[in-house]
A = this chain, B = another copy of it.
Amino acid sequence: MATEKPRVCLAYSGGLDTSCILRWLIEEGYDVVCFLGNVGQEEDWAAVEEKALKIGAKKMIIEDLRREFITELCYPAIQCNAIYEGRYLLGTSLARPVIARAQMRAAQQEGCQFVSHGATGKGNDQVRFELAFYAIQPSIKVIAPWRDPKFFKRFAGRNDLLDYAAQTGIPVTSTKAKPWSMDANSAHCSYEAGVLEDPNHTPPADMWTMTDDPLKAPNEPTDITIHFEQGIPTKVVAPGQEYTDPVELFNALNKLGATHGVGRIDIVENRFIGLKSRGCYDCKHDRPSTVKKSTNRASAPAMTILRAAHLDLEGLVLDGQVRALRDQFVTHNWSIQLYNGYYFSPEREFIENSLKFSQKRVNGEVRLRLYKGNPYILGRSSNTEKLYDAEEASMDSLEDFEPTDTTGFVAIQTIRLKKYGLQKGDEGESLSRA
């Protein structure tokens, strides 16, 4: 009687790396269940499943995570104005928790004692996946082949993988390495490694395969309006059409933004493990060569547009002191937590509670123009919020305002500053000197 084999749930993309890992795990004596989450990337899902089963997977589980991804991760990021190191909108980081959670659900449902992934040993993703796995199910065991000497010493380069694929009958669509690696979802597409590792190498025009080049974007702008409730986008009004469903709203903004070339970023960032790396992000989808060129060129500059709109609306409706504290405390920390893979952590939960509270009054709408690579704000309004008062803000109106009050305000503030001036004078450093 055969003893039961250990079972592993592998994050499987259909590419060369995870195909080899799949085969290798089988060789190592595991039953393998493959998992692939749909977070908005373009993919020939049936082909991936067929390939997995052909290589020997017991099962291929594909789950549509788009709604979950957008509403549970992308929307809080928008509420937060999340940004890493001043520029990166966290596209990959936001998808990881949703994928890890769904993969763990798959592992639990299929009775797996192990989970595995094809992330490399120097990147952020391995950390993001594994911190999530262990938090979600502390008893799980992770197999990370690219950190297992048995694997990475055997497969030292791409040629070793190709040889292995040839030997074991794994179908390969291209024997040539791509000059960089890509990762796509509804929030963005990232490009890194390969020729991009030279930070002074300008990304070739054909890298951004699916983004419309701002230089070639339409000369006519498109104006849209975005409605927010509690900091969450609830409606997008575009010429001739409205969107309210989160997935449709995101898709619509992705398409509109892509047309106008919105959302390209090129950055050298600090990885969690202490290395610096260069990434390019254009908020667009990877179209693997196995996929026929579809007419639905779904793209994802939605994050760029929504963040700009949300940031603007907060100016109108959020109290200034709450905003300053939120910026320094919530935005800063939430962004780092997500980047470093701490979604499933008490500190993220703590910070996000604060975020939600800050958004209660972020209600209103913002009008924007999309044009040649960027969103421009045209105006904003709110039917419910009243912190802004045109009459009161007016320099000309003195209703409810005593100009002499400001004299007292200034006088009290200067009690301390006058001492500073006197002290500087005592030190022989006149403040009036240039």
* A positions within 8 Å CB-CB of B: 68, 72, 81, 85-87, 98, 101-102, 104-105, 108, 120-123, 126-127, 130-131, 134-138, 144, 146-149, 152, 157, 181, 193, 197-202, 214-215, 219, 221, 264, 266-270, 273-278, 311-312, 315-316, 319-329, 332-333, 336, 342, 344-347, 350-351, 353-354, 357-358, 361, 367, 371-374, 376-381, 386-390, 392-396, 398, 401-423, 426, 430-432, 434
Question: Does B351 contact A121, Cβ atoms closer than 8 Å?
Answer: no
Which B residue sits closest to A138, measured CB to CB? B418
Which B residue sits closest to A217, measured CB to CB? B372
A278 and B416 in contact, given A327-B332, A407-B408 (Cβ under 8 angstroms)? no
A329 CA to B334 CA in the complex, in Å?
A: 13
- Taking CB atoms, residues of chain B closer than 8 Å to A387 are 276, 419, 423
A76 CA to B394 CA in the complex, in Å?
A: 32
Q: Indicate the member of A152, A358, A373, A379 with the most B CB atoms within 10 Å.
A: A379
Which B residue sits closest to A158, measured CB to CB? B396
A136 CA to B434 CA in the complex, in Å?
A: 12
Question: Does A122 contact B395, Cβ atoms closer than 8 Å?
Answer: yes
Question: Does A197 contact B393, Cβ atoms closer than 8 Å?
Answer: yes
A413 and B221 in contact, given A347-B322, A403-B152 (Cβ under 8 angstroms)? no
- Taking CB atoms, residues of chain B closer than 8 Å to A146 are 403
Question: Does B274 contact A434, Cβ atoms closer than 8 Å?
Answer: no
A380 and B274 in contact, given A214-B371, A374-B374, A421-B134 (Cβ under 8 angstroms)? no
Question: Does B420 contact A379, Cβ atoms closer than 8 Å?
Answer: no
Q: Indicate the member of A376, A379, A410, A434 with the most B CB atoms within 10 Å.
A: A410
Nearest-neighbour CB distance to chain B for A74, whole angstroms, equals: 14
A197 CA to B219 CA in the complex, in Å?
A: 30
Which B residue sits closest to A373, measured CB to CB? B374
Q: Of B87, B102, B319, B409, which one neighbours A347 at CB under 8 angstroms? A: B319
Q: How many copies does the complex hold?
A: 4
- Taking CB atoms, residues of chain B closer than 8 Å to A347 are 319, 321-322, 325
- Taking CB atoms, residues of chain B closer than 8 Å to A327 are 85-86, 332
Nearest-neighbour CB distance to chain B for A401, whole angstroms, equals: 6
A411 and B405 in contact, given A120-B395, A387-B276, A395-B181 (Cβ under 8 angstroms)? yes
- Taking CB atoms, residues of chain B closer than 8 Å to A214 are 371-372, 376
Question: Does A268 contact B315, Cβ atoms closer than 8 Å?
Answer: yes
- Taking CB atoms, residues of chain B closer than 8 Å to A416 are 274-275, 319-321, 345
A311 CA to B268 CA in the complex, in Å?
A: 10
Question: Does B386 contact A423, Cβ atoms closer than 8 Å?
Answer: yes
Known interface pairs A274-B417, A319-B347; 10 further A-B residue pairs with C-beta atoms within 8 A, sorted by A's residue number: A122-B401, A130-B414, A135-B421, A136-B430, A199-B379, A266-B376, A268-B380, A274-B415, A321-B346, A321-B347
- 29 A–B pairs (Cβ distance < 8 Å), ordered by A: A105-B432, A122-B403, A126-B410, A127-B413, A131-B413, A136-B432, A137-B432, A147-B407, A193-B395, A197-B393, A200-B380, A202-B378, A214-B372, A266-B377, A269-B315, A270-B320, A275-B392, A276-B320, A276-B388, A319-B347, A322-B347, A342-B417, A344-B421, A350-B358, A372-B373, A373-B376, A386-B422, A386-B426, A409-B413
A423 CA to B233 CA in the complex, in Å?
A: 23
Nearest-neighbour CB distance to chain B for A149, whole angstroms, equals: 7
A273 CA to B411 CA in the complex, in Å?
A: 10
A431 and B135 in contact, given A353-B354, A410-B127, A410-B130 (Cβ under 8 angstroms)? yes
Which B residue sits closest to A418, measured CB to CB? B138
Question: Does A421 contact B353, Cβ atoms closer than 8 Å?
Answer: no
- Taking CB atoms, residues of chain B closer than 8 Å to A430 are 136
Question: Does B135 contact A274, Cβ atoms closer than 8 Å?
Answer: no
Question: Does B333 contact A325, Cβ atoms closer than 8 Å?
Answer: yes
Nearest-neighbour CB distance to chain B for A78, whole angstroms, equals: 13
